[in-house]
């Protein structure tokens, strides 16, 4: 009746509790108006239905008027004394007790049924505030009720007209039923009944105050525990969300129909799609599989079986290797509720795997090349010397002389190939010194311009920034990197083109970039670029790029290749600047 289910309990210190008290006060105003109206309106209608009786202003109308006026005052106090809810509540409690006391007096004191309204005020006071407030209201109710009943019993105050009418009706009824022997008890109630009524009412007031306070405390405690559990649940939900969003693997959940229900940040990043493009759409929207493949995946999946395929995912102009797995999503009872799709971008892992395989292959080829060079080198030297001796004994224009010249040239070419094998298999010991890498690039570019490998159709462009940077490395091996990469770029432009050589400082690395507009390479050619014995040009040994890879690796650097067929090639060599940051060299040096 008084919205006690929403009571905030004894604690009114928090803003939420204060708002709850304000709601309770508004409810009390409304209930008070309903109660007094429900009492006055039937009384007024009964007077209208009895035309023979004199209609006079009743004390009940006065109480009603006072109640309506007090309610208007309470409504004004809600705005004037905002925040002082305890004071407003006490004012309303006192007003309600006075109103109920007036109704008890008007309707016959001990015989009045409206004494039950005291309990409502006590319940509200005990539920809203501390036990002291409930007992204080119970004490005031006991005093007002006892004072009214005792005063009426001993005639200290005159009874109301309504009470006199009821008493007269009781007397007539008793006389008609019991005879003259009942007349002695008409003027007053037996004393023991009066005290019994007082004791039961007062005991009931305090009992209700105590029980309501205990109930309010239990409700308040239960609400606090519920709030704590809700906060813990909210914290767990936040932690769960943070964990899911922080996982580097893509995580997507689907319902039993294959519609996407949740997507984490890693999944959006790997797939290159935002949340709106995935949420609520079929699982095949990820483009990791087709609709038909998804049907097959669902038909083969089981709690003890997980699918772990790997696919090539096209994202824009780049290809990514993505591995994914699909598992069942079940609730706490083991009922299937959907599917979990977990996937990872394996591009870097595949790249490292390819590099590891390349290193293993280079090591094996190095051992093989070392053995071949050792076994072939000495016989080849003997063959070359014998051919030179035979050539000197023949005439210059003889056919045999020309054949011997061919044998000699091919033996020289084979000797150069063997020396390249030896250089790859047993590179010389690296000597790290401090030198100006920018100046070294400038010197090598100048030598390359004047070399016969550069035709008039070729154009060389050098850009270094800053103009002087100290690098600790082997300058001879760095020059070897330059010449191998520059010659490959020129061979990729047999009919001319532009070769751009750039040198820049990026973080703690010095990056040398070779850019040409030659024929370019496809994906397969890029994968075999640094493999030994894979030459893309006529007359090449296929060792130069493998040597470049080994030198860069021994210096702790990195190689990056970007090439498309018909669009040229960009090769970037990143060499660490050690120790520390790059140090510009003075102009005098």
Q: What is the mean pLDDT of residues 437-446?
A: 91
Q: Is residue 174 part of a domain?
A: no
What's the mean pLDDT in 386-402?
A: 72
pLDDT at position 484:
87
Q: Which of 103, 96, 89, 102 is nearest to 119 (CA)?
A: 96
Contact in structure between 137 and 93 (CB atoms under 8 Å): yes
Residue 8 lies in a domain: yes
Clarify whether residues 60 and 201 are in a common domain.
yes
Q: Which of 373, 392, 425 is the last residue of a domain?
A: 425
One domain, residues 450 and 410: no
Name the more confident of 551 and 418.
551
CATH number, domain of 304, equals 3.30.450.20
* pLDDT per residue as tens digits for the range 121-130: 888 888 877 7
Gap between the Cα atoms of 478 and 483, Å rounded: 9
Picking from 321, 345, 369, the residue at the C-terminal end of a domain is 345
Q: Are 503 and 573 in contact (CB under 8 A)?
A: no
The 336-345 sheet, strands edge to edge: 260-263, 250-255, 336-345, 318-330, 310-315
**What is the DSSP secondary structure assignment for residue 305, as one 8-state letter?**
B
The reply to whether 475 and 529 lie within a common domain is yes
Instruction: Classify 454 in phi/psi space as left (phi over 0), alpha (psi -120 to 50) or beta.
Output: beta
pLDDT-derived band of residue 51, with 50, 70 and 90 as boundaries?
low
Question: Residue 60 — pLDDT band, cuts 50, 70, 90?
Answer: low
Residue 541: predicted pLDDT? 58
Shared-domain flag, residues 268 and 384: no
Task: Yes or no: say if 44 and 63 are a contact pair by the CB < 8 Å rule.
Answer: no
pLDDT tens digits, 454-485: 888 999 999 998 889 999 888 888 888 898 89
Query: If phi over 0 gives left and psi between -120 and 50 gives alpha, with beta otherwise, what is residue 399?
Result: alpha
Residues of the domain holding 37: 4-158+190-226
User: What value does the CA radius of gyration of the chain take, rounded to a whole number of Å?
Assistant: 51
Domain-located, residue 180: no
Position 170 pLDDT exceeds 60: no
Residue at token pair 């590179």:
427
Alpha helix positions (H), 517-583 = 523-527, 544-554
pLDDT band at 181 (very low <50, low <70, confident <90, very high): very low
265-278 average pLDDT score: 85
Domain presence at residue 563: yes
306 within some domain? yes
pLDDT at residue number 514? 94
pLDDT, the chain, mean: 77
Distance CA 94, CA 444 (A): 103
pLDDT (0 to 100) of residue 232: 84
Alpha carbon distance 229, 136 (integer Å): 35
How many CB atoms within 10 Å of residue 146?
A: 16
Same domain, 373 and 496: no
Q: Are residues 295 and 417 in the same domain?
A: no
490 in any annotated domain: yes
**Mean pLDDT, rounded, for 137-159:** 89
220 compared with 362, residue with greater pLDDT: 220
Q: Tokens 């009931």 correspond to what residue?
A: 204
| Boundary (domain end) residue, out of 394, 425, 456 | 425
Q: Sorting pLDDT into bands at 50, 70 and 90, what band is 400?
A: confident
Predicted confidence at residue 175, as pLDDT, reads 45
Q: Are 39 and 103 in contact (CB under 8 A)?
A: yes
Q: Taking 70 as the threshold, does the pLDDT of residue 348 lie above it?
A: yes
Same domain, 18 and 132: yes
User: What pLDDT is stored for residue 336 in this prediction?
Assistant: 85
**Is the same domain home to 471 and 568?**
yes
Crossing angle between the packed helical segments 15-49 and 59-80, to the nearest 10 degrees: 160
Q: Which residues of 286-315 are buried (b: 16+ CB within 10 A; e: fewer)?
A: bebbeeeebeebeeeeeeeeeeeeebebee
Residue 364 domain flag:
yes
Supply the pLDDT for residue 178: 46
Question: Comparing C-alpha atoms, which of 273, 280, 276, 233 is closest to residue 250?
Answer: 273
Task: Give the C-alpha separation, 125 to 143, whole Å.
Answer: 17
Provide the whole-model pTM: 0.43
Least confident of 175-184, 326-335, 381-390, 438-447: 175-184
For residue 438, the domain's CATH number is 3.30.565.10
Whether residue 329 sits in one domain with residue 198: no
The pairing of strands 433-436 and 458-465 is unpaired
Query: Domain count of the chain?
Result: 4
Residue 384 has pLDDT above 70, yes or no: yes
For the stretch 293-346, pLDDT in tens is 888 888 777 766 666 777 777 776 667 778 888 888 888 787 888 888 888 887
Q: What is the pLDDT of residue 184?
A: 35
pLDDT of residue 83 exceeding 70? no
Burial class (CB in 10 A: 0-12, 13-18, 19+), 99: buried
d(CA 323, CA 309): 6
Q: Is the peptide bond before 466 cis (omega within 30 degrees of 0)?
A: yes
Q: What stretches of 316-440 adopt beta strand conformation (E)?
A: 318-330, 336-345, 433-436
> Are 111 and 10 part of one and the same domain?
yes
Residue 587 counted as domain residue = no
Whether residue 277 is found in the same domain as residue 143:
no
Looking at the structure, tell me whether residues 286 and 364 fall in a common domain. Answer: no
- The CATH number assigned to the domain holding 404 equals 1.10.287
Q: Is 344 helix (H, G, I), strand (E, B) or coil?
A: strand
DSSP lists the bridge partners of residue 464 as: 503
Cα separation values, 439 from 82, 443, 467, 469, 589, Å: 82, 6, 8, 8, 11
The pLDDT value given to residue 572: 94
């Amino acid at each position: 009746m008084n919205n006690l289910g929403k009571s905030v309990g004894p604690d009114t210190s928090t803003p939420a509790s204060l708002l709850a008290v304000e709601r309770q006060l508004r409810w009390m105003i409304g209930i008070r108006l309903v109660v007094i109206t429900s009492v006055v309106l039937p009384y007024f209608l009964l007077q209208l239905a009895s035309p023979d009786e004199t209609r006079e202003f009743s004390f009940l109308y006065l109480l009603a008027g006072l109640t309506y006026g007090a309610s208007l005052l309470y409504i004004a106090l809600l705005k004037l004394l905002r925040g002082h809810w305890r004071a407003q509540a006490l004012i309303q409690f006192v007003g309600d007790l006075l109103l109920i006391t007036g109704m008890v007096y008007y309707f016959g004191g001990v015989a009045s049924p409206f004494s039950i309204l005291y309990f409502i005020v006590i319940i509200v006071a005990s539920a809203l505030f501390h036990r002291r407030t409930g007992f204080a209201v119970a004490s005031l109710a006991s005093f007002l009720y006892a004072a009214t009943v005792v005063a009426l019993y001993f005639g200290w105050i005159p009874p109301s007209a309504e009470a006199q009418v009821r008493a007269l009706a009781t007397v007539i009824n008793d006389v008609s039923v019991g005879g003259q022997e009942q007349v002695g008890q008409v003027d007053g109630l037996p004393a023991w009944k009066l005290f019994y009524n007082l004791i039961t009412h007062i005991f009931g007031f305090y009992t209700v105050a105590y029980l309501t306070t205990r109930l309010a405390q239990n409700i308040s405690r239960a609400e606090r525990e519920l709030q704590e559990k809700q906060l813990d649940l909210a914290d767990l939900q936040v932690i769960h969300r943070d964990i899911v969003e922080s996982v580097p693997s893509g995580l997507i959940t689907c319902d039993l129909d294959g519609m996407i229900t949740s997507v984490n940040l890693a999944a959006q990043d790997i797939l290159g799609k935002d949340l709106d493009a995935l949420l609520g759409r079929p699982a095949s929207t990820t483009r990791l599989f087709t609709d038909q493949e998804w049907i097959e995946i669902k038909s083969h999946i089981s709690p003890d079986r997980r699918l772990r395929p790997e696919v090539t995912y096209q994202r824009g102009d780049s290809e990514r290797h993505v591995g994914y797995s699909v598992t069942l999503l079940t609730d706490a009872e083991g009922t299937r509720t959907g599917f979990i799709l977990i996937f990872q971008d394996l591009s870097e892992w595949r790249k490292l795997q390819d590099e590891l395989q390349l290193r293993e292959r280079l090591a094996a080829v190095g051992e093989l090349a070392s053995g071949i060079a050792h076994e072939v080198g000495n016989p080849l030297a003997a063959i070359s010397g014998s051919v030179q001796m035979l050539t000197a004994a023949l005439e210059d224009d003889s056919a045999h002389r020309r054949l011997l010249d061919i044998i000699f040239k091919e033996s020289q070419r084979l000797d150069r190939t063997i020396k390249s094998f030896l250089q790859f298999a047993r590179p010389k010991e690296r000597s790290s010194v401090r030198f100006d890498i920018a100046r070294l690039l400038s010197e090598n570019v100048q030598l390359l311009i004047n070399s016969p490998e550069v035709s008039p159709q070729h154009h060389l462009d050098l850009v270094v920034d800053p103009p002087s940077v100290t690098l600790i490395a082997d300058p001879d091996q760095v020059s070897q990197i330059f010449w191998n990469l520059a010659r490959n770029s020129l061979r990729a432009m047999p009919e001319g083109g532009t070769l751009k050589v750039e040198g820049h400082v990026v973080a703690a690395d010095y990056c040398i970039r070779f850019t040409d507009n030659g024929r370019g390479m496809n994906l397969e050619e890029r994968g075999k670029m640094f493999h030994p014995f894979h030459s893309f040009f006529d007359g090449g040994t296929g060792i130069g790029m493998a040597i470049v890879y080994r030198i860069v690796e021994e210096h702790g650097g990195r190689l990056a290749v970007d090439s498309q067929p018909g669009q040229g090639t960009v090769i970037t060599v990143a060499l660490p600047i050690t120790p520390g940051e790059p140090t510009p060299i003075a102009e005098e040096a």
